[in-house]
Amino acid sequence: MMMTRVLRRLSRLPLHAVLLAAGLLWMTPTIGLFVSSLRPPDAVMRTGWWTVFAHPLSFSQFTLQNYIQILTAQGMGRAFLNSLIITVPATVIPIGVASFAAYAFAWMEFRGRDVLFGIVVGLMVVPLQMTLIPLLRAYNHLGLAGTYVGVWLAHTGYGLPFAIYLLRNFFGALPRDLLESAYLDGASDLTAFFRLVLPLSIPALASLAIFQFLWVWNDLLVALIYLGGTENVAPLTLKLSSLINSLGQNWHLLTAAAFVSMAFPLVVFLALQRYFVRGILAGSVKG
């Protein structure tokens, strides 16, 4: 009995070893970045970041100086604010617009409904690249290049097909009886939409919001094209990518800047991981 149990444990050793190694391998790059961002410049250049673990408890080897410098002198503070200003409306607007459309596709009857829905969803195939040149030209004419409004609308346009697809599927799966009886009681579409459909769809809306938030916050290309060259509206990703060129080998600053750009989405992600996973599953497999 004892013997077989020990043997079973032993046979599972490779399983644990592989999983542990994979977990460690995946964490190492991020840990290295974080540790380096807390070390003084000469230490970063002189020794590898892993040497701090020789004396893990000597806190004198760490400093917050890098963070102070990049947030103030290097303008990451401003960029953080810009990222917030860009991301919040660029998350709220598409979800709002998509909700209305998804309600119509799910619960209202009109001619050509299914065909139109097919076309909107089919637009998911269009790569961003396909839209950049005409939109940039239009933006230059309309004075929308380098403005927050321009970026909000662009993210709305790019996010809509997926958002409508996801929400329509969720709205459509709500119990038919519930809505029918509400209509019979004289509820208008607007009432049904605000009082029934939206509250019942909070999980789907939350998943979508996290998706869109991460997508916009982490986006480089859209910002690069429509905001490129306008320093005072640049979000974190854009700022960070230009720091890579200007700071070069100043790893202590670069690592701190990168961590500033990552901190917020990491917190959101860790806190709301469940919703994010649900969104992924709804978007690509049955949940």
Answer yes or no whether residue 53 interacts with another protein by CB under 8 A.
no
Q: Which is nearer to another protein, 72 or 188 (CB)?
A: 188
Q: Specify the DSSP element, H or E, that contains 258.
A: helix 251-284
Task: Find the shortest distance in angstroms from Cβ 219 to another protein.
Answer: 8
Q: What letter represents residue 164's amino acid?
A: I
Phi, psi angle pair for 259, to nearest 5°: -70, -35
Minimum distance of another protein from residue 105's CB (angstroms): 8
Binding to another protein by residue 219, rule CB under 8 A?
yes
177 touches another protein by CB under 8 A: no
Angle between helices 251-284 and 65-72 (to 10 degrees): 80
Exposed e or buried b for every residue in 61-97, given b needs 16+ CB within 10 A? bebeebbebbbeebbbebbbebbeebbebbbebbbeb
By the rule CB under 8 A, 7 interacts with another protein = no
> According to the binding rule CB under 8 A, does residue 198 interact with another protein?
no
CA 186, CA 31: separation in Å to the nearest integer? 58
Q: How far apart are CA 98 and CA 159, in angstroms?
A: 9
Contact residue for another protein among 7, 30, 143, 176 (CB under 8 A): 30
Q: Which is nearer to another protein, 120 or 209 (CB)?
A: 120
Residue found by looking up tokens 């100086």 in the block: 65
221 belongs to the binding site for another protein (CB under 8 A): yes
Pick between residue 146 and residue 161 the one whose CB is nearest to another protein. 161
**Phi, psi values for residue 146, rounded to 5°:** 75, 15
Per CB under 8 A, the list member of 74, 90, 161, 207 interacting with another protein is 161
The answer to whether 136 touches 145, Cβ cutoff 8 Å, is: yes
Q: Which stretch binds another protein (CB under 8 A): 1-9, 55-63, 70-78, 157-165?
A: 157-165
Rounded-to-integer distance, Cα 39 and Cα 67, Å: 10
Coil, helix or strand at residue 214: helix
Region near another protein per CB under 8 A, out of 2-10, 53-61, 68-76, 249-257: 249-257
Minimum CB separation of residue 64 from another protein in Å reads 19
Q: Does 265 bind another protein (CB under 8 A)?
A: yes
Among residue numbers 86 through 145, which ones bind another protein (CB under 8 A)?
Answer: 97-98, 100-101, 103-105, 108-110, 113, 116, 120, 123-135
Least Å distance between CB 199 and another protein?
A: 18
